[in-house]
Amino acid sequence: MSKLIGPGKTVTLHFAIKLEDGQIIDSNFEAEPATFNVGDGNLLEGFEKALFGLEEGTKQTLKILPENGFGMSNPSNVQNIPRSQFEGMELEQGLVISFADAGNGELPGVIAEFDDKMVSVDFNHPLAGKRLDFQVEILQVS
**CATH code assigned at 93:** 2.40.10.330
CA separation (Å) from 19 to 32, 58, 106?
22, 21, 26
Q: Are residues 114 and 62 in the same domain?
A: no
The verdict on 46 and 92 lying in the same domain is no
User: What is the pLDDT averaged over residues 16-40?
Assistant: 95
Mean pLDDT confidence for 99-113: 89
Q: What DSSP line would sit under 67-135, residue for residue?
A: GGTT----GGGEEEEEGGGGTT----TT-EEEEE-TTS-EEEEEEEEE-SSEEEEE-S-TTTT--EEEE
Query: Is residue 114 domain-shared with residue 134, that is, in the same domain?
Result: no
Q: Identify the band that residue 104 occupies on the pLDDT scale cut at 50, 70 and 90.
A: confident
pLDDT of amino acid 76 = 95
Tell me which residue range forms the domain holding 100.
75-122
Q: Are residues 50 and 24 in the same domain?
A: yes
Q: Are residues 112 and 86 in the same domain?
A: yes
Question: Quick one: what percent of the chain has pLDDT higher than 70?
Answer: 99
Residue 4 lies in a domain: no
pLDDT at position 1 is 57
Q: Indicate if 56 and 86 belong to the same structural domain.
A: no
pLDDT score recorded for residue 24: 96
pLDDT in tens, 33-77: 999 999 998 889 999 999 999 999 999 999 999 999 999 999 999
Sequence letter at residue 46: G
pLDDT at 55: 96
**What is the b/e burial string over 50-61, where b = at least 16 CB atoms within 10 angstroms of the residue's CB?**
bbeebebebeee
Question: Same structural domain for residues 43 and 88?
Answer: no
Same domain flag for 67 and 134 = yes
Decide if 28 contacts 34 (C-beta within 8 A): yes
Q: Cα(96)–Cα(48) distance, rounded to whole angstroms? A: 28
Whether residues 65 and 135 share a domain: the answer is yes
Mean pLDDT of 1-12: 89
